[in-house]
Amino acid sequence: MTKDAASETIWRPGVTLELLRARLKNTLAEHIGIELVELGPDYLSGTMRVDHRTCQPMRLLHGGASVVLAETIGSLAANAANHDPARHFVGQEINANHLRPVPEGRSVTGVARPVHIGRSSQVWNIEIRNEKDQLVCVSRLTTAAVPAARPEP
């Protein structure tokens, strides 16, 4: 990344894909197999397999698993875009529209992009797509600033 490209990013200094991946250790996201894939200048993407951990009884992607993927990458992105170490951003509201079923054995990829990055709240749009790049779920996450219990690494 060139110096000019680095200055165009929304992320606070020092945020890397490796740092964000480390934040998933010992969390629900790790338990259901969410993997972070790419950190672009204004987006974060992650994948998830549709398997015994993420499917519903009809052997299709569980809507709740889609919401977990959306909130995981949206919340990570919100905190990575936060430049104030005295605050963290936490989920305040999330909605999701499930548009297409995904059968067991496939994968989905979610991409979180900001709609609004403010001092006390952020809004993120998350699109989840299947392996054919078809839209599976659209989600919107609103996060709220709270005092940091401990500074972000």
Model pLDDT for residues 40-75, shown as the tens digit of each residue: 999 999 999 999 999 999 999 999 999 999 999 999
Read off the pLDDT band of 153 (50, 70, 90).
low
DSSP state of 74: H
Q: What region does 73 belong to: left with phi over 0, alpha with psi -120 to 50, or beta?
A: alpha
Residue 39 has pLDDT above 70, yes or no: yes
Give the global pTM: 0.92
CA 63-26-60 angle, 5° bins? 20
Give the fold, CATH level 3, of 3-147: Thiol Ester Dehydrase; Chain A (3.10.129)
For 74, counting Cβ atoms within 10 Å of its Cβ (0-12 exposed, 13-18 middle, 19+ buried), the class is buried
Tokens 């972000």 belong to: 152
Bridge partners, 95 (sequence order): 140
Structure confidence at residue 152 (pLDDT): 60
**Is the pLDDT higher at 6 or at 71?**
71
Residue 33 has pLDDT above 90, yes or no: yes
> Which positions are annotated as active-site residues?
71
Model pLDDT for residues 84-130, shown as the tens digit of each residue: 999 999 999 999 999 999 999 999 999 999 999 999 999 999 999 99
Structure confidence at residue 8 (pLDDT): 87
- CA nearest neighbour of 128 among 113, 148, 144, 145: 113
Domain boundaries, the chain: 3-147
